[in-house]
Chain A
Amino acid sequence: MRKLRRPEIALNSNHHPVSKKSPHTKRPDDSAPAYNARLAPINARLGQDEQIAFYRDMVRIRRFEERCLRAYQQGKIGGFLHLYIGQESLAVGCCSVMSKQDHIITAYRDHGHALGVGMSMNELMAENYGKYTGCSKGKGSSMHYFDPSRHFWGGHGIVGGQIPLGIGIAFALKYKGVKGACMAFMGDGAVNQGAVHESYNLAALWDLPVVFVIENNGYSMGTSQARSSAGPSLAQRAEGYGMSWDISENGHDVLEVRDKVSQALKRAHEEHKPTVLEIRTYRSRGHSIADPDTTYREKHEIEEYKRTKDPIMVYQNTLVAEGVLNDELIAKIDESARAEAETSAQFADQSPFPTVEDIKKDVYWETDNPADRKSVGTLFFD
């Protein structure tokens, strides 16, 4: 059998291929100071409250998901549950730089983004439990969180399918002459979808205010990037469309994420230009709860990440070193996040399920809003 020609890539670990020639960074000269996200304009004047807030938001996502996992293991949650553990710095970093005019959309690993835009644990946990008090009345589940009032457009189940929608949100902003941008999140698996490339072309062709955020955790389900994606880097594909692109190598660093995404948002706001931003990260858990997890990656790879790059740990160490956090405050934040997650589980437990009558509600706008009904006849055939 003929051997498949493999792209020329070197692996810095098992999951993230990195080109031999650093593709994106143009080092001007050796005398230039090394990149330091803390000195970036967006981070330079952070108050202690803000720093603590970033930390707390990451801890809240972590504790919420751990409580979700427990509920899943108790049989309270069924179906899909895609945990964000290990990637919290991305959602928190990106949401922290959103302006009131900005929008976001993502795929099914959406817990971090939902909490990041300010949705409550109660409505999210209840949604996981399939309860009527959930954000989608129990009809969406973990994959379909959304809150248009906070400009969060879901929560989508088809890999890459959400990206064109995000571009459409931005298209409408431009059409209406409204300021703002849309951050369209995807994983490293989605970059190979045709819909994503079609979106790249359209966003560049029409100068739409978009930030394509690739949350590159190295695996599309169990398929590593090396086995799925050609080319030196995922972000570099933007060049084919004449788009700006950038890579955040240290996605576990919430401040670096803030800096990189705020630059891209600035480009969208001020120049109406799209950007592809690849953020390197890692998920400490499987693709979903049902994922055996270590059949496609080495256990030491997971342990190594948790030990050296866990975003919460890294930021905690930074803030302790800077004297912003201390043991007492850390414990207090942790306790409060645990209690909030526990309360949400109780809320979900005690909430009612949708009734049988709800099965056929919400299929057509007009069946739930009879005043708006514009058609007649049989909509349901059974």
Chain B
Amino acid sequence: MKSSARELTYAEAIRDAFAVALERDPRVLLLGLGVPDPKGFFGTTLGLQKQFGADRVMDMPCAENGMTGVMLGAALNGLRPVINHQRLDFALLAMDPMCTQAAKWHYMFGGAMKMPVVFRMIIGRGWGQGPQHSQCLHSWFAHIPGLKVVMPTTPHDAKGLLLAAIEDDNPVVFIEHRWLHHLKGEVPAGHYTVPIGPARRARAGRDVTIVAFSYMVLEALEAAEKLAEDGIDAEVIDVRSLRPLDQSLLLASLRKTGRLVVADTGHSTAGMAAEILAIAGESAFGSLRAAPRRVCFPDCPTPTSPSLSAEYYPRAGHIVAAVRATLQRPPNDDDLLVPAGAELDKPNPAFTGPF
């Protein structure tokens, strides 16, 4: 409902989703290291413990592995927990309960049980976070049958997809990008869901399809504006959900444009962008008018030094360059120029942390 929409940041939208879920369903509980902290998990859990009580909005020991298993047991016994990780990297301590237990429960026990649990993770970028605080491993989770994986880009989708994830009867990996937390957008008040699965056409275009994940959707939209100056009309697709994946929208776009660039927030090797390229090759080979391209992280750990970040993280210019290649246009050195004084290591000049 348009009338009830108001402008919120992405982080506020997440908080709003939690408040709605906790209010509606007493089985929902939030848990994570730092969830009740004064800074409220980057603002996403502010005040929730005071509102809903310490037995539903819980801090936890540094025990990601054990704690995740405990919440799986709680989910089996009727609760609907959300486990929060301030970094995706920390969730890796819980790969066994997430991938070998949660993802297998329904199948291994003959389809008898639901496993309603949300694993919420945040991806860092820049600001000196380095190798152990900025990994983007969504493709790991998308690889596992039994898990669902969503990566919303807008505040509207963040709230709607988080509520959908909490209400889903399967384990859902919910991945946010730290650089999206300050993004503002219209968010309806009260309860609504964005169904898990459908991708979003963020910009319509004729000449090339740019498929992007999470924060890279913003870079893709910026790239599309630059390309428009050169008369290139790019379509931008915000994938939103990796598994299930909206193949039909991707393929329909590709059949229209014949050209594909995938902009991912992770490494290229064996990554989600590679999966999209494989789908294009297998299902729309005849429509391809040029070799598809990927814009991803290079194959090395994230450097901490700000001087290396400019080289490390792909941005709009890299997408523009990739699009030019699919159109057999000559490369343009200006695409990758960094304006003097630009800080590529921060989401915006006003940003002072925390990470």
Tell whether, in the assembled complex, residue B70 and residue A161 are in contact, meaning their CB atoms are under 8 Å apart: no
Question: Which residues of A in the span 336-370 have a Cβ within 8 Å of any Cβ on B?
Answer: 361-366, 368-369
Tell whether, in the assembled complex, residue B73 and residue A167 are in contact, meaning their CB atoms are under 8 Å apart: yes
Which DSSP category, helix, strand, loop or mixed, fits chain B's interface?
mixed
Segment with Cβ contacts to B, from A75-83, A112-120, A132-140, A221-229: A132-140
**Residue A14, interface by CB 8 Å:** no
Residue of A whose beta carbon sits closest to that of B242: A377
Contact of A374 among B68, B69, B168 (CB under 8 A): B168
Tell whether, in the assembled complex, residue B100 and residue A171 are in contact, meaning their CB atoms are under 8 Å apart: no
With A175-B55, A363-B106, A372-B169 as contacts: A164 and B97 at CB distance below 8 Å? yes
**Residue A199, interface by CB 8 Å:** yes
> A residues touching B (Cβ–Cβ < 8 Å)?
103, 105, 134-140, 144, 146, 148, 153-158, 161, 163-173, 175-176, 182, 194-199, 201-202, 205, 361-366, 368-369, 372, 374-381
A164 to B97 alpha-carbon distance, docked (Å): 9
A-B contact pairs, 28 of them (CB 8 A): A134-B110, A135-B110, A137-B110, A139-B107, A153-B76, A154-B108, A154-B109, A161-B69, A161-B101, A164-B67, A164-B68, A165-B72, A165-B97, A168-B73, A168-B74, A169-B73, A170-B73, A172-B78, A175-B29, A195-B69, A195-B96, A198-B61, A363-B145, A365-B106, A374-B164, A374-B168, A379-B145, A379-B243
Min C-beta distance of A146 to chain B, whole Å:
5
Question: Which residues of B in the span 235-283 have a Cβ within 8 Å of any Cβ on A?
Answer: 241, 243-248, 275, 279
Write out the residue numbers on chain A whose beta carbons fall within 8 Å of the beta carbon of B40: none
Tell whether, in the assembled complex, residue B77 and residue A168 are in contact, meaning their CB atoms are under 8 Å apart: yes
Contact of A376 among B77, B170, B244 (CB under 8 A): B244
> What is the total number of residues of chain B having a CB less than 8 Å from a CB of chain A?
55
Tell whether, in the assembled complex, residue B70 and residue A140 are in contact, meaning their CB atoms are under 8 Å apart: no
A372 to B113 alpha-carbon distance, docked (Å): 13
Tell whether, in the assembled complex, residue B78 and residue A377 are in contact, meaning their CB atoms are under 8 Å apart: no
Residue of A whose beta carbon sits closest to that of B143: A381
**Residue B185, interface by CB 8 Å:** no
Tell whether, in the assembled complex, residue B96 and residue A161 are in contact, meaning their CB atoms are under 8 Å apart: yes
Tell whether, in the assembled complex, residue B71 and residue A168 are in contact, meaning their CB atoms are under 8 Å apart: yes
Write out the residue numbers on chain B whose beta carbons fall within 8 Å of the beta carbon of A364: 106, 146, 148, 170
Tell whether, in the assembled complex, residue A362 and residue B107 are in contact, meaning their CB atoms are under 8 Å apart: yes
Query: Lowest 8 CB-CB distances: which A-B pairs, in order?
Result: A168-B73, A164-B69, A198-B66, A362-B111, A172-B77, A377-B197, A377-B244, A137-B110
Write out the residue numbers on chain A whose beta carbons fall within 8 Å of the beta carbon of B72: 164-165, 168
**Residue B63, interface by CB 8 Å:** yes
Min C-beta distance of B248 to chain A, whole Å:
8
Known contacts A154-B108, A163-B66; can you find 10 more A-B pairs with CB under 8 A? Answer: A137-B111, A164-B69, A169-B77, A172-B76, A175-B79, A364-B146, A375-B164, A376-B246, A377-B248, A379-B244
> B residues touching A (Cβ–Cβ < 8 Å)?
29, 55, 61, 63, 65-79, 96-97, 100-101, 106-115, 145-146, 148, 164, 167-170, 193, 195-198, 241, 243-248, 275, 279
Among A136, A139, A155, A198: residue with most chain B CB under 10 A: A198
Residue of A whose beta carbon sits closest to that of B81: A168
Write out the residue numbers on chain B whose beta carbons fall within 8 Å of the beta carbon of A176: 77-79
A334 to B61 alpha-carbon distance, docked (Å): 51
Tell whether, in the assembled complex, residue B198 and residue A201 are in contact, meaning their CB atoms are under 8 Å apart: no
Contact of B69 among A136, A163, A372 (CB under 8 A): A163
A135 to B148 alpha-carbon distance, docked (Å): 26
Write out the residue numbers on chain B whose beta carbons fall within 8 Å of the beta carbon of A375: 148, 164, 168, 195-197, 241, 244
A364 to B275 alpha-carbon distance, docked (Å): 21
Tell whether, in the assembled complex, residue B96 and residue A172 are in contact, meaning their CB atoms are under 8 Å apart: no
Tell whether, in the assembled complex, residue B100 and residue A158 are in contact, meaning their CB atoms are under 8 Å apart: yes
Write out the residue numbers on chain B whose beta carbons fall within 8 Å of the beta carbon of A380: 145
A375 to B197 alpha-carbon distance, docked (Å): 5
Tell whether, in the assembled complex, residue A165 and residue B73 are in contact, meaning their CB atoms are under 8 Å apart: yes
Tell whether, in the assembled complex, residue A366 and residue B67 are in contact, meaning their CB atoms are under 8 Å apart: no
Contact of B61 among A205, A372, A376 (CB under 8 A): A205
Tell whether, in the assembled complex, residue B198 and residue A376 are in contact, meaning their CB atoms are under 8 Å apart: yes
Min C-beta distance of B72 to chain A, whole Å:
5
Residue of B whose beta carbon sits closest to that of A375: B196
Write out the residue numbers on chain A whose beta carbons fall within 8 Å of the beta carbon of B244: 375-379
Residue of A whose beta carbon sits closest to that of B169: A365
Write out the residue numbers on chain A whose beta carbons fall within 8 Å of the beta carbon of B148: 364, 375, 379
Tell whether, in the assembled complex, residue B108 and residue A140 are in contact, meaning their CB atoms are under 8 Å apart: yes
With A198-B63, A378-B244, A379-B244 as contacts: A168 and B197 at CB distance below 8 Å? no
Write out the residue numbers on chain B whose beta carbons fall within 8 Å of the beta carbon of A366: 168-170
Write out the residue numbers on chain B whose beta carbons fall within 8 Å of the beta carbon of A202: 61, 63, 66-67, 70
A174 to B63 alpha-carbon distance, docked (Å): 20
Min C-beta distance of B194 to chain A, whole Å:
10
Min C-beta distance of A175 to chain B, whole Å:
6
Tell whether, in the assembled complex, residue B69 and residue A199 are in contact, meaning their CB atoms are under 8 Å apart: yes
Tell whether, in the assembled complex, residue B65 and residue A195 are in contact, meaning their CB atoms are under 8 Å apart: yes
Contact of A173 among B77, B114, B198 (CB under 8 A): B77
A169 to B107 alpha-carbon distance, docked (Å): 20
Among A139, A175, A201: residue with most chain B CB under 10 A: A175
